[in-house]
Amino acid sequence: MITIEAAIAATRFGLGPRTGEMAAIISPEKWLLAQLSNDRQEEPSLKGLPRTQTIVSEYLSTFGGEKRSRRREPTSEQRQALQKKLAAIYRREASARFHAGLETKNPFRERLVHFWSDHFTVSITKPILSGFVGAFEREAIRPHVTGRFEDLLMAACRHPAMILYLDNHTSIGPNSPAGRRGNRGLNENLAREILELHTLGVNGGYRQKDVTNFAKVLTGWTFTGPDSRFGGKVGEFQFVWQLHEPGSHRILGKSYRENGINQPAKVLRDIANHPSTARHIALKMARYFIADDPGKGVVGRLEEAFLESRGDLRHVTETLVRSPEAWAPEQKKFKQPFEYILSTLRAVPAVEVEDDKILGVLSLMGQRTFSAPSPAGWPDETLFWASPDGIMRRVEWSNALSHRLRKLPSYEDLIAESLGPLASEKLKKVASRAENRRQALALVFASPEFMRR
């Protein structure tokens, strides 16, 4: 007998059950907590993908390095060739990410990767990022989802993908050696988004002055381009003092003296552990897993867990799993398109859908992989995704999927294996009266209980 808690664990916290998954969950809480231990194996589909360093040195060198004097404007053929190579990496990465979600035995951990990857969004809406978004998630996010928040923040902000996405490689201290030679200067994009989106939150108590000063502190926080202009290893993070704005700077009422890379690193560690950050992360996480309005109780507990453990994400996540709100039977969250598509495919035996087709369907549903519209990531509210167009695409997908299955499970089995106790009596009745077997399966995929979690 499958309990409602097992179904919730697999659906609300996981990616939807695979055949046999719910039946094997003896203790739902333990099943989730076990996925948080740090000795988990890498997802097989992610093996053999290129590292950021390789991508930078092999591909960006098309542009002859970043140094202007040596740089020749690439021809349009070179430009197209580069974009094509980056697009090929992107497709491999998107496909690997999809397969990790489809095949994983640790779906809760995978959801945490999705959550934190979205929290630290980098997006192919900036075309150069096509080559880097996948590597970013694998290198900066995956290793830290149950580690310390400050380490995760540091890894995300040091990664070339984030630096490129939020322009910090172009931000130069006006009084730095480089700044005094030319007329270039600050770019506050990264500084603002770290404060607003990654740490304190928009109402976290910072002012414009804090943004400007933090931008000064972050000058020189960059990575080594293909020409190694300031030394360093190609494609790796580098702090370049020649670009850094000298002096002490005041942020959130505290003065940070000049101390090389330790100055920005100190600011990052301080804001990572700020009470506003704890509040911001607590609300966002509870909202992602439980409900658009998760209630003060669980948010307060997560906030406290964050503060008392100095941002130990494993402890925070355990607190989430142990909260009674997490197990309320009502399915309040509406799956995002990526999660919805994954859950339909996890519910059926292997189905032949080309990876590019999946990417196409996700585009139709408005959630092409790694293409969030802004640094804030994907909206998470039900009203955004449960749009008329969004519902109709799910209906069409359910229909298309039911026609693609070679081996048809019975609708009773599909309901039992994919929804179990979450299935309503009405769904069972409607499916039993379907015109044919494929239509019965489509009704299950398109049911409210399948779209929600």
Partner 1 sequence: MWSRRSLLKSAGAVSLTLGFLPWLSFSATTVERRFVFVILRGAMDGLAAVPPLGDPGYRKARGSIALGRSDTLELDGFFAIHKSLRFLHEAFKDGELSIFHAIATPYRERSHFDGQDILENGGIRALGLKTGWLGRALDSEALTSKSATGLAISQSMPMVFWGSANATSWAPSVMPDAAQGLLERLSYLYEDDPLIETAFQNALAADAIAPDMSMMGSGGRRGLLGNFTTAAKAAGAFLSQQDGPTFAVLEITGWDTHANQGTGSGQLANNLEALDGGLKTLKQTLGKTWAGTTVFVATEFGRTAAANGSGGTDHGTGSAAFLLGGAVNGGRIIVDWPGLKSSQLYEGRDLRPTLDMRAPLKGVLHDFLEIPTAELSGIVFPNSALVKGLKDLTRG
Residue span 322-361 as binding mask against partner 1, x where in contact by CB under 8 A, dash where not: --------------------------------------xx
Residue span 160-199 as binding mask against partner 1, x where in contact by CB under 8 A, dash where not: ------xx--xxx-x----x---xxxxxxx--x---x---
Q: Examine residue 152 and tell whether it contacts partner 1 (CB under 8 A).
A: no
For partner 1, the closer of residues 92 and 332 by Cβ is 332
For partner 1, the closer of residues 210 and 318 by Cβ is 210
Minimum gap (Å) between residue 390 Cβ and partner 1: 6
Stretch that binds partner 1, among 15-23, 139-147, 269-277, 422-430 (CB under 8 A): 422-430
Minimum gap (Å) between residue 453 Cβ and partner 1: 14
Measured CA to CA, the distance from residue 123 to residue 375 in angstroms comes to 8
Q: Show contacts with partner 1 in window 117-136 (CB under 8 A).
A: 125
Stretch that binds partner 1, among 23-31, 147-155, 298-306, 365-373 (CB under 8 A): 365-373
Smallest CA-to-CA distance from 25 within 108, 135, 93, 110 is with 108
Minimum gap (Å) between residue 392 Cβ and partner 1: 4
For partner 1, the closer of residues 78 and 399 by Cβ is 399
Count CB atoms within 10 A of the CB of residue 315: 18
For partner 1, the closer of residues 168 and 319 by Cβ is 168
Stretch that binds partner 1, among 29-37, 114-122, 155-163, 445-453 (CB under 8 A): 445-453
Q: Would you give the DSSP letter of residue 141?
A: I
Q: Which residues contact 90 (CB under 8 A, 6 or more apart)?
A: 124, 130, 131, 133, 134, 370
Minimum gap (Å) between residue 138 Cβ and partner 1: 26
For partner 1, the closer of residues 92 and 184 by Cβ is 184
* The two three-digit tokens of residue 46, written as one number: 């992610």
Please report, to the nearest 10 degrees, the dihedral formed by the alpha carbons of residues 423, 425, 428, 433 taken in order.
-150
Q: Examine residue 424 and tell whether it contacts partner 1 (CB under 8 A).
A: yes
* The two three-digit tokens of residue 88, written as one number: 């090929």
Q: How far is the CA of 272 from the CAs of 39, 88, 148, 281, 436, in angstroms? A: 25, 35, 10, 10, 56
Count CB atoms within 10 A of the CB of residue 376: 15
Alpha-carbon torsion (208, 212, 217, 218), positive or negative: positive
Among 81, 128, 353, 376, binds partner 1 (CB under 8 A): 376
Measured CA to CA, the distance from residue 347 to residue 419 in angstroms comes to 9
Q: Examine residue 76 and tell whether it contacts partner 1 (CB under 8 A).
A: no
Stretch that binds partner 1, among 35-43, 103-111, 258-266, 436-444 (CB under 8 A): 436-444
Neighbouring-strand partners of residue 221:
239
Among 102, 397, 419, 423, binds partner 1 (CB under 8 A): 397
Minimum gap (Å) between residue 179 Cβ and partner 1: 8
C-beta separation of 441 from 402 below 8 A: yes
Smallest CA-to-CA distance from 315 within 306, 327, 324, 325 is with 306
Measured CA to CA, the distance from residue 217 to residue 41 in angstroms comes to 38
C-beta separation of 14 from 108 below 8 A: yes
Count CB atoms within 10 A of the CB of residue 436: 10
C-beta separation of 419 from 450 below 8 A: yes
Element (H, E) at 332: none
For partner 1, the closer of residues 20 and 388 by Cβ is 388
How many residues in the shown chain lie near partner 1 by CB under 8 A? 61
The site for partner 1 (CB under 8 A) is made up of 125, 166-167, 170-172, 174, 179, 183-189, 192, 196, 202, 208, 211, 360-361, 364-366, 373-374, 376, 379, 382-393, 395-400, 424, 426-427, 430, 433-435, 439, 442-443, 446-448, 451
